[in-house]
Amino acid sequence: MVSPVGKSGIWATVGVIIIVLTATLGWILYPNILNSQFVLKSGSALFTQWEDPPVAISMKFYLFNCTNANDVINKKDTIPVVEEVGPFTYRETRIKQDVVQENGTVTYREVQTYYYDPNENDPSLDVKITTLNPIYTVLAALIDDADISYLKKQSFSTVMHNTLKGLNEGPFMTHTANELLFEGWSLDPYLPIIQLVNSTILHGKVPTLPENLRFGFYFGRNESDIGVTNIDSGINGLEKLATINTWKGDKALNTWPSEYCNMINGTDGEIFPPTTAQTTVSEPEKKLYIFNGDLCRSIYATYEKDQTVSGISGKRFTVPEYVFGDYKSNPDNECFCRSFANNKDTSKCYEAGILDLRPCLHGLPILMSTPHFYQGSETYVNGVKGMDPNQTLHETFFVLEDTTSVTIGASKRIQINLDFQKYSVYALRKVKKTVFPILWADESVILDEDSADLIKLANSVEYGINIGRWSLLGVGIAITVGSAIAAAVLCKKRGFIV
């Protein structure tokens, strides 16, 4: 027969076993099992979702129709008037191809495909849009930027203008929304003047042009990728999960005149390390870094507030105004000004809100901004009538789930503009210098009901396990301590020294 003291010892042993098992299962095995699902490795839950995302991505385009094009050209310093036409809604898929896993990294190409998926109130893709002629503007800008005398610039500009005028082409043009976006229009008539400018002024800097040359602002983007990317799989540490190691084979860009602006920081914005949401809140100096190939630069977002999406608690991050500030308000952005590296020449620097992509796009005068120049300089907002910046409509944001940092809501919003000025073309002598908006795009992640339910289920399971492991640990401790106290009391009654 077991003595009372012996029984207390047995219960104490049981308590210790419960503590050890709970600690092993709850704080060692469970986290390891959980973490194994949050790495990019074949078979993991994250890898399956990352390779072929089930969450719908919506891409909405808004085009700007110029209603006073003739006055802009013929009446001195006339401010362009535009009206926003849209949205033109597409469904976007992003599928990873050529995936290679090795040495704790994943190399892949992400193929983006767009499917026209209009909403009931969307305008027709056949609607006519009058806007700046990008080919005319690009040729005028390239000639003006060429390292030749002013007289030669005027001469080539006149040849360019007369050649295009003979094709019934001028500074402005009218095309359907479909042509401006994905369908494009033939550039065969432009080839002679493009080749002349390329061979005589640009010395072959323009890339080799394909046969059946067409142009649309998103022509060629369907079923294409932005380059081979190598990221960290998270196997050697979840804090590095999805961090970009190389893009197009390089660890940094070779676009801007400084190491800082050429840095490739963070992830591509699709997934983040699981600790991101919490650490960026507990440590306010932390930033959510994202590399954007379309912008040829890295940007960052900061924590704004808590936000619930589809019943799921998350942290909302937004891109602060400082990121796209001018060189005066943000000295870090000096290197994004193409003339600043030349003895700190600020003559070609832009005010806040504009990113000059000439260094990234072979000198093409493409300027990126937020839609309607939101958070940008009033110079650009007032330089075109029809701009109406709005935080709700035009802000870029990410909402990350509290515990896993899975994206539960996001909108990436950018605007394509052309640099419009007199250049050396006589036909443009009356135009008012401005940043002319062409279109803006809203790329949004929409969390469907099934995905939301899956995240809620995962959170419920984790919550239940947390409650269970702490409860079992408490039971184990209570049994152990209670047995020890009971044994001590019995020993004292029997005269043993305690």
The reply to whether 27 and 69 lie within a common domain is no
In one-letter notation, the amino acid at residue 155 is S
Domain membership of residue 458 (yes or no) is no
The gap between the terminal CA atoms of the chain, to the nearest Å, is: 24
- Among 52, 47, 33, which Cα is nearest to 233's? 47
Average pLDDT over residues 357-364: 87
Flag the least confident range among 97-111, 252-266, 328-342.
328-342
The reply to whether 50 and 60 lie within a common domain is no
Q: Is the pLDDT of residue 24 over 60?
A: no
Query: What is the predicted pLDDT for the residue at 279?
Result: 78
Phi and psi at residue 289, in whole multiples of 5°? -90, 140
Q: How confident is the model over 28-67, as pLDDT tens digits?
A: 443 444 455 568 888 887 788 788 877 789 999 999 999 9
Domain membership of residue 455 (yes or no) is no
- In our burial notation (b when 16+ CB lie closer than 10 A, e otherwise), range 264-286 reads bebbbbbbbbbebbeebeeeeee
Domain membership of residue 132 (yes or no) is yes
Radius of gyration of the chain (CA): 30
In one-letter notation, the amino acid at residue 176 is T
Instruction: Return the ∠ at Cα 360 (arms to 356 and 364), rounded to 5°.
Output: 65
Contacts of 50-54 with C-beta under 8 Å, sequence gap 24+, read 50/96, 50/270, 50/271, 51/95, 51/96, 51/99, 52/95, 52/96, 53/93, 53/94, 53/270, 54/448, 54/450, 54/451
The reply to whether 346 and 483 lie within a common domain is no
**Number of CB atoms found within 10 A of residue 436's CB:** 24
Q: Is the pLDDT of residue 494 over 60?
A: no
Q: Which residues contact 193 (CB under 8 A, 6 or more apart)?
A: 139, 159, 160, 163, 164
Using CA atoms, how far apart are residues 37 and 34, in angstroms rounded to an integer? Answer: 5
Query: What is the predicted pLDDT for the residue at 3?
Result: 53
Query: What is the predicted pLDDT for the residue at 312?
Result: 81
Average pLDDT over residues 395-414: 88
Average pLDDT over residues 465-469: 43
* Residue 477 burial (10 A CB sphere; 0-12, 13-18, 19+): middle
Average pLDDT over residues 376-397: 96
Interaxial angle between packed helices 4-24 and 449-493, expressed in degrees from 0 to 180 and rounded to the nearest 10: 160
Q: How confident is the model over 270-291, as pLDDT tens digits?
A: 888 887 877 777 777 788 899 9
The β-bridge partners of 247 are: 229, 250
Using CA atoms, how far apart are residues 187 and 202, in angstroms rounded to an integer? Answer: 19
The reply to whether 344 and 377 lie within a common domain is yes
The reply to whether 141 and 11 lie within a common domain is no
Q: Is the pLDDT of residue 471 over 50?
A: no
Distance between alpha carbon 16 and the CA centroid of its chain, in Å? Answer: 51
Domain membership of residue 456 (yes or no) is no
Domain membership of residue 288 (yes or no) is yes
Query: What is the predicted pLDDT for the residue at 461?
Result: 42
More confident: 270 or 497: 270
Query: What is the predicted pLDDT for the residue at 4?
Result: 52
- Among 219, 159, 156, which Cα is nearest to 186's? 219
Structural domain count, the chain: 2
At 447, list the tokens. 């969390």
Instruction: Return the ∠ at Cα 62 (arms to 57 and 67), rounded to 5°.
Output: 175
Confidence of residue 403 (pLDDT cuts 50, 70, 90): confident
The reply to whether 231 and 137 lie within a common domain is yes
Query: What is the predicted pLDDT for the residue at 234?
Result: 86
Q: Is the pLDDT of residue 391 over 90?
A: yes
* pTM for the whole structure: 0.84
Flag the least confident range among 21-25, 238-242, 323-327.
21-25
Using CA atoms, how far apart are residues 376 and 325, in angstroms rounded to an integer? Answer: 8
Confidence of residue 462 (pLDDT cuts 50, 70, 90): very low
Domain membership of residue 191 (yes or no) is yes
The reply to whether 231 and 115 lie within a common domain is yes
Query: What is the predicted pLDDT for the residue at 21?
Result: 45
The reply to whether 228 and 299 lie within a common domain is yes
The reply to whether 141 and 194 lie within a common domain is yes
Average pLDDT over residues 394-402: 91
Using CA atoms, how far apart are residues 286 and 273, in angstroms rounded to an integer? Answer: 13
Residue 147's alpha-carbon distances to 97, 132, 151, 154, 203, in angstroms, are: 43, 25, 12, 13, 11
More confident: 416 or 464: 416
- Among 464, 456, 458, 463, which Cα is nearest to 311's? 456
At 384, list the tokens. 């075109």
Q: Are 63 and 440 in contact (CB under 8 A)?
A: no
Q: Is the pLDDT of residue 97 over 90?
A: yes
Flag the least confident range among 27-31, 304-308, 387-391.
27-31
Residue 417's alpha-carbon distances to 124, 346, 370, in angstroms, are: 23, 21, 10
Confidence of residue 456 (pLDDT cuts 50, 70, 90): very low
Q: How confident is the model over 212-251, as pLDDT tens digits?
A: 788 899 998 888 888 899 999 988 888 888 999 999 999 9
Using CA atoms, how far apart are residues 374 and 151, in angstroms rounded to an integer? Answer: 39
More confident: 149 or 33: 149
The reply to whether 47 and 174 lie within a common domain is no
Average pLDDT over residues 468-496: 48
Query: What is the predicted pLDDT for the residue at 236?
Result: 85
Distance between alpha carbon 236 and the CA centroid of its chain, in Å? Answer: 25
Q: Is the pLDDT of residue 345 over 90?
A: no
The reply to whether 47 and 59 lie within a common domain is no
Q: Is the pLDDT of residue 488 over 70?
A: no
**What's the 3-state SS for 344-397?**
CCCCCCCCCCCEECCCCCCCCCEEEECHHHCCCCHHHHHCCECCCCCHHHHCCE
More confident: 312 or 253: 253
Using CA atoms, how far apart are residues 365 and 343, in angstroms rounded to an integer? Answer: 22
Q: Is the pLDDT of residue 83 over 60?
A: yes
Query: What is the predicted pLDDT for the residue at 27?
Result: 41
The reply to whether 214 and 309 lie within a common domain is yes
Q: What percent of the chain has pLDDT over 70?
A: 80
Confidence of residue 468 (pLDDT cuts 50, 70, 90): very low
- In our burial notation (b when 16+ CB lie closer than 10 A, e otherwise), range 197-234 reads bbeebbeeebeeeeeeeebbbbeebeeebbeebbbbbb
Flag the least confident range among 107-121, 180-194, 313-327, 457-471.
457-471
Cis status, amide bond into 437, omega within 30 of 0: no
Confidence of residue 407 (pLDDT cuts 50, 70, 90): confident
Average pLDDT over residues 319-334: 91
Flag the least confident range among 94-98, 174-178, 471-475.
471-475
Tokens 């009033």 belong to residue: 378
Using CA atoms, how far apart are residues 261 and 255, in angstroms rounded to an integer? Answer: 8
Residues spanned by the domain of 27: 1-54+463-498
Q: Is the pLDDT of residue 18 over 80?
A: no
More confident: 343 or 83: 83
Query: What is the predicted pLDDT for the residue at 221?
Result: 87
Q: Are 403 and 455 in contact (CB under 8 A)?
A: no
Query: What is the predicted pLDDT for the residue at 180?
Result: 96
Query: What is the predicted pLDDT for the residue at 449?
Result: 59
Average predicted confidence (pLDDT) for the chain = 82
